Amino acid sequence: MSIGEKIREIRQKKGLTQEALGLLCGLRGTYINHIEKGRYKNLTVQTAQKIALALEVSPEELMETEISDKAGLPDQSVTDMLKSFTADFAGKLQKLEIIEIPIRGIIPAGNPTVVEEIDLGVVRVPREVVEGKIDRVFALKIGGESLSGDGLHYGDNVLIDPDAPIIDGKIYAVRIGGTEVLARHVYKENGHLRLESSNNEYKRVLATEVEIQGRLIYQMRKL
């Protein structure tokens, strides 16, 4: 039901003519006629309040039917609709919340290097990037150019998920030989792992003693 149809329904129940309703709310009878016929579909709040006062109903009673019909939803009060909207907006806002992730050190994207875990501060990312894995994800700083073909360069920060499964071709932080660490594309091959760069200046690495530190799930360019 449109707002014009609602006004006509209430007006007729109260035994008012269009001219009489117009006099009560300070509007012309022809204007009321146009509203009821749907020629003026978007009423101002002030006009709706005047008509509602003359009909002895609340403005919400006139407007909520129009809102419900346009949305294609079952009738619900304006208050309920606002609550629903607020809850939905709060959920979306939470996903945009900025989370701080610790940078645990530098990951060589070059030749294998012995690396110690150090504190390099934090990176700030939207919550939705690490949703469900905030407690385990950590950040590393790229220390080479072997992954330049992937848009990763010296000084960029990356997020690492230590629980991510191994998928051929994805980029991982790996420890080889128990001490040396590097970032590479990882492939399973005949009982060992093949570690590939995306920069032709760096050779592939074949390794059997490999400890996967985690998979790269997000990257942030150095500004």
- Segments forming the whole domain that contains residue 122: 98-220
Same domain, 104 and 210: yes
In this predicted structure, which of 23-27, 178-182, 200-204, 209-213 has the lowest mean pLDDT?
Answer: 178-182
Same domain, 134 and 59: no
Residue 195 Rama label (left phi>0; alpha psi -120 to 50; beta): beta
Task: Determine which helix (DSSP H) or strand (DSSP E) holds 12, and give its type and residue range.
Answer: helix 3-13
The per-residue pLDDT for 26 is 85
Same domain, 58 and 123: no
Same domain, 102 and 81: no
Out of 65, 88, 111, a domain closes at: 88
Rounded to an integer, the average pLDDT of 78-89 is 60
Q: Has residue 190 been placed in a domain?
A: yes
Same domain, 113 and 176: yes
Question: Could you tell me if 31 and 22 are in contact, meaning their C-beta atoms sit under 8 angstroms apart?
Answer: yes
Query: Which residues does 110 contact at the CB level (< 8 Å), separation at least 6?
Result: 143, 144, 145, 146, 182, 202
pLDDT tens figures, 136-186: 999 999 988 999 999 999 999 999 999 999 999 999 999 887 778 889 999
Same domain, 79 and 107: no
Q: Has residue 151 been placed in a domain?
A: yes
pLDDT at 71 over 70: no
Rounded to an integer, the average pLDDT of 15-33 is 89
Question: Could you tell me if 183 and 115 are in contact, meaning their C-beta atoms sit under 8 angstroms apart?
Answer: no
Out of 88, 113, 130, a domain closes at: 88
Same domain, 63 and 143: no
Please indicate whether residue 41 or residue 199 has the higher confidence score (pLDDT): 199
Same domain, 161 and 186: yes
Give how many domains the chain has, as a whole number.
Answer: 2
pLDDT band of residue 83 (cuts 50, 70, 90) is low
CATH number, domain containing residue 32: 1.10.260.40
For 100, the token pair is 């701080």
pLDDT at 75 over 60: no
Please indicate whether residue 42 or residue 99 has the higher confidence score (pLDDT): 99
CATH number, domain containing residue 213: 2.10.109.10
The per-residue pLDDT for 216 is 95
Residue 169 Rama label (left phi>0; alpha psi -120 to 50; beta): left
Q: Has residue 162 been placed in a domain?
A: yes
pLDDT at 45 over 70: yes
pLDDT at 198 over 90: yes
Same domain, 83 and 129: no
Please indicate whether residue 92 or residue 187 has the higher confidence score (pLDDT): 187
The per-residue pLDDT for 126 is 85
Same domain, 104 and 142: yes
Out of 43, 60, 88, a domain closes at: 88
**Average pLDDT value for the chain:** 81
b/e burial code for range 158-182 (CB count within 10 A of at least 16 → b): bbbbeebeeeeeebbbbbbeeebbb
